[in-house]
Structure 1
Amino acid sequence: MQADIEKRTLRRISWRIVPFIMLLYFIAYIDRVNIGFAALTMKTDLGFTASILGFGAGIFFWGYFLFEVPSNIVLHKVGARLWIARVMLTWGLISAGMAFVQGPTSFYIVRFLLGAAEAGFFPGIILYLSYWFPARHRAGVTAFFMAAAPISTALGSPLSAALLEMHGVMGLAGWQWMFIVEAIPAVILGVVVFFYMTDRPEQATWLKEDERAWLVREMSQEAASKRHHGDHSVLRGLADPRVLALALIYFGTSAGLYTLGIWAPQIIKQLGVSSITVGFLNAIPPIVSVIAMVLWSRHSDRTGERTWHVILACVAAAVGLVVAASANSIVGLVAALTLVNIGISCAKPPLWTMPTAFLSGAAAATGIATINSIGNLGGFAGPAMIGWIKDQTGSFAGGLYFVAGLLVLSAVLTLVLATSQKSKVTASNATAH
């Protein structure tokens, strides 16, 4: 009977929550990385170098970094419904403002403001999922949510390339139309969020009474279990050494993710293909990675193993970047970028189950936001270094090697964290006996 209620409840909340948050992240990710396609023509119109593009694309994450933790604390206090609606409305309006940048300074300012506006969305959703899904089911659910990023690349690449063809319509450049059109869904969905989302299981009138009772009891027991094992204050979420370690691990995966999102179109373009062809070729790797990510995360949930699921994925992505650096054919480059996509996508869901396994309440809100804000600075470091190295050497290779090195470091840190945790548990058991 209990198993039947659990199965029914999880199915109902999964269908209610997961497709919707996937849609939100789909739009968020398009607005975050569409600069990679805009740059195909924008850099000529505004006279931007690779360094300017890399720095401007990456400065988004400084806005993210500064406002991430405060944003997630506010979400924990006022609820996801109100705060995610605010996030989406402001980022949609600022993203549309990208159409009107005039030079490097306005470019940097708008990208920074976009990061500040969007701060709190991703960790807010990760926190939100911890309110609704028991830990043993969380990697699989997180994988579906995060699948929206590669799916948005797969569908958004051809769309962005097509919008570039609107050059001259009503006196605007194609890249200006791209920013305006792709910002509209964020504004619309910001309104929808306010009426559709439910903050907590206790308020879920769309669940049957026995389903709601089971879920509230299950999540309360899980929170009580974590409280029993230590302090879960805001300070704990900021100061826990495991949080800082996970932030550094996430730094490498973010550098890889945004290297793909921002520079992959131009890396493909240098092989001499049209913008439309770039759009379709850039869609292939993320399609494959979505399938791999879901299967990999389900395996992680089924086995309960997280560490090696992160390590192997990071190493695979690093290998893909090294191969991409020397690829000189379309087939070879797309194959290498596919391996990078698979590795980056597969590493993230099991990684995001780790903080909510030992943090709850305000500590979870601050801990998740800290990991995401520090880790996402990799989204600044990777793209910015690639742009700078490209200007210095005329090649993307050195920058790709740099990001590959960051991913290897993430794999090593994951192993060190797991080993230290195992040593602590062993020592604790020995003391207990």
Structure 2
Amino acid sequence: MSQNGKSDASDGSSAIGKINLRILPFLFFVIFAAFVDRTNVSYAALPMSSHLGLTASMFGFGAGIFFLGEALFSVPSTMAARRAGVHKWIPLLMVGWGTCASAMAFVTRPVAFYVLRFLLGVAEAGVMPSMILAAALWWPESHRARVITGITSGTGVAMVVGAPLAAVLIEIEGALDLAGWRWLFLLEGLPVIAVGLVALLVFPADPQSARWLSQSQKHWLARQMQGDAARRSEPGDDAPLPLSSHLDLLLVAALLNFSAAGAIATLGFWLPQIGQQSLGYSLGDVGRLLAPLYFVGIGLAYVVSHVSDRRRSRYPIVAGCSVGTAAIIAVSTSLGTTVTAFVLLVIASLVARCMGGVFMAAISEDMTGRIAGKGLGIVMISAAIGMFCGNWVFGVLRDVSDGFGAGLGALMTVACLCALYLERRRARSQKWHFRPPVVD
């Protein structure tokens, strides 16, 4: 290797190392904190419902309306991130959602609960798109998949520590005449505001403005980004969009994401309440049971994604996870209110989560060219709407049937049918692409 080649490799390695050390932990924390603040309501559910007079359907509506706000403001928030820059927009989002999360400590009526959950969804709507934009800004494509996996692993870590942390915070009962569930919201929201304000002052706009990168490292990054941009350009990007010719496939993908995301979110929000109500466990007991299982789930999701990448298999794995989740839920509900049944529900939740990354990889590969923005936007919004509807319908069915099996069965039946239909279409046509035709 020539001297210039060695120097170039050294600049690249050191530049990526510095970015991984200074930027990646912050983005990981953002995802971690966002997931904690959107899901902590599931741990506060029983005492909060008692104080506010919430039925199961009212709680489900309040938990789910978060995703309605997220769906409505996802695109505007993404546009704002592009215009303002992620270095400003991410800290502002943190201050916004931290304020909403902290204000949950002072709700006294169901209407206030609904409003704050909706506003929390609005504030968090741009979090994941901003993470993708930040990854594209700071890391070359050759590092980006691993980086995004590292960032989004914050949700898995939040699942592991969320329940034990909530159990500890809720025990601060009566301090300053505040109930323990109010302290939970307050102490998990205020730190986010503080970190957001600091980040607003110190987070660099881009690699070229980072004082901790040398000029040679900045030049290396600029060359990598330019090369990535050149490779992404492809003929046919200016061709007319054949959206109508692929409308049925787009609707299937959107419906699958609607039902699967709804089922996953519903299981996540209601599992702590199932453990407390059906088994008589304390929140601390539920946390100690969930934490190791969620930790295993992080590894399971990585293994499934690795197998999908190695075998280049997407939709069969999505279908398998959907059917497996439905089967585990069916066995769980047949066992009644037992510890085994509850553990099986947790396992079903983890298996369902394994399909998320694989499905996103599949549609990101299939939707290319100018159709990608519209297609991916529709699929992402369908997920948020599914999460809203799933939690609300589950709560209504819980009130009507006084059980959790009916709600889970309704959600997973739709998810299974969509996944099986999608796999059947793939088997009939090995090449299912949303690619615009190349114009000669």
Classify the TM-score, shorter chain: 0.7 to 0.9
Matched, 1:422 2:428: no
Matched, 1:314 2:322: yes
Worse overlay, 147-156 or 42-51: 147-156
**What's the secondary structure of 1:317's corresponding residue?**
helix
For 2:327 and 2:145, the matched residues in 1 are separated by 24
Q: Deviations over 1:195-231 (max 9, x none)?
A: 4544444445544555544443333333333332444
Aligned match for 2:23, one of 17, 24, 27:
17
2:412 paired residue number = 404
Aligned AA (1:161): A
Q: Deviations over 1:263-317 (max 9, x none)?
A: 0011111112222212222323211111112333344445554444444333333
For 2:165 and 2:124, the matched residues in 1 are separated by 22
**What's the secondary structure of 2:23's corresponding residue?**
helix
Structure 1 residues 290 and 179, CA gap change in structure 2 (3 angstroms): same
Aligned AA (1:333): A
Query: How far is 1:66 from its partner?
Result: 1.1
Query: How far is 1:379 from its partner?
Result: 1.3
For 1:302 and 1:324, the matched residues in 2 are separated by 32
For 1:78 and 1:114, the matched residues in 2 are separated by 20
Instruction: Mark the runs of 5 or more structure 1 residues left unpaired by the alignment.
Output: none
Query: How far is 1:400 from its partner?
Result: 0.9
Aligned match for 2:263, one of 250, 256, 279:
256
Matched, 1:120 2:129: no
Query: How far is 1:67 from its partner?
Result: 0.8
Matched, 1:265 2:269: no
Count how many residue pairs are aligned between Structure 1 and Structure 2: 430
Matched, 1:180 2:180: no
Query: How far is 1:36 from its partner?
Result: 0.8
Matched, 1:69 2:75: yes
For 1:243 and 1:193, the matched residues in 2 are separated by 39
Query: How far is 1:416 from its partner?
Result: 6.5
* 1:29-428 superposed matches below 5 A: 29-135=35-141, 137-207=143-213, 209=215, 211-231=217-237, 246-269=253-276, 270-328=278-336, 330-354=338-362, 357=365, 370-412=378-420, 414-415=422-423, 422-423=431-432
Aligned AA (1:129): A
Worse overlay, 397-406 or 304-313: 304-313
For 1:25 and 1:374, the matched residues in 2 are separated by 21
Structure 1 residues 215 and 142, CA gap change in structure 2 (3 angstroms): same
For 2:432 and 2:395, the matched residues in 1 are separated by 42
Q: Which of 1 and 2 has greater Rg?
A: 2
| 2:169–2:183 contact (8 Å) kept in structure 1 | yes
Aligned AA (1:117): A
Query: How far is 1:388 from its partner?
Result: 0.5
Instruction: Mark the runs of 5 or more structure 2 residues left unpaired by the alignment.
Output: none
For 1:280 and 1:21, the matched residues in 2 are separated by 27
For 2:145 and 2:424, the matched residues in 1 are separated by 21
Structure 1 residues 38 and 139, CA gap change in structure 2 (3 angstroms): same
For 1:425 and 1:159, the matched residues in 2 are separated by 44
For 2:83 and 2:102, the matched residues in 1 are separated by 29
TM-score, normalised with respect to structure 2: 0.84
Q: Deviations over 1:11-52 (max 9, x none)?
A: 544444333222111111111011111112111111110000
Query: How far is 1:138 from its partner?
Result: 4.2
Aligned AA (1:250): N
TM-score, normalised with respect to structure 1: 0.85
Q: Deviations over 1:158-210 (max 9, x none)?
A: 11122222222211111111111110121122123324544444445544555
Query: How far is 1:135 from its partner?
Result: 4.8
For 2:375 and 2:296, the matched residues in 1 are separated by 31
CA RMSD of aligned residues (A): 3.6
| 2:66–2:122 contact (8 Å) kept in structure 1 | yes
**What's the secondary structure of 1:333's corresponding residue?**
helix
1:27 paired residue number = 33
For 2:137 and 2:425, the matched residues in 1 are separated by 26
Worse overlay, 384-393 or 322-331: 322-331
Worse overlay, 311-320 or 76-85: 311-320
| 1:139–1:349 contact (8 Å) kept in structure 2 | no
Query: How far is 1:157 from its partner?
Result: 0.5
For 1:299 and 1:330, the matched residues in 2 are separated by 33
For 1:268 and 1:189, the matched residues in 2 are separated by 33
Aligned AA (1:20): F
| 2:236–2:369 contact (8 Å) kept in structure 1 | no
For 2:42 and 2:262, the matched residues in 1 are separated by 15
For 1:175 and 1:84, the matched residues in 2 are separated by 27
For 2:362 and 2:99, the matched residues in 1 are separated by 34
Structure 1 residues 192 and 320, CA gap change in structure 2 (3 angstroms): farther
Indicate the percent of aligned positions where both proteins have the same amino acid. 33
Structure 1 residues 387 and 366, CA gap change in structure 2 (3 angstroms): same
Aligned AA (2:431): K
Aligned AA (1:422): K
| 2:63–2:388 contact (8 Å) kept in structure 1 | yes
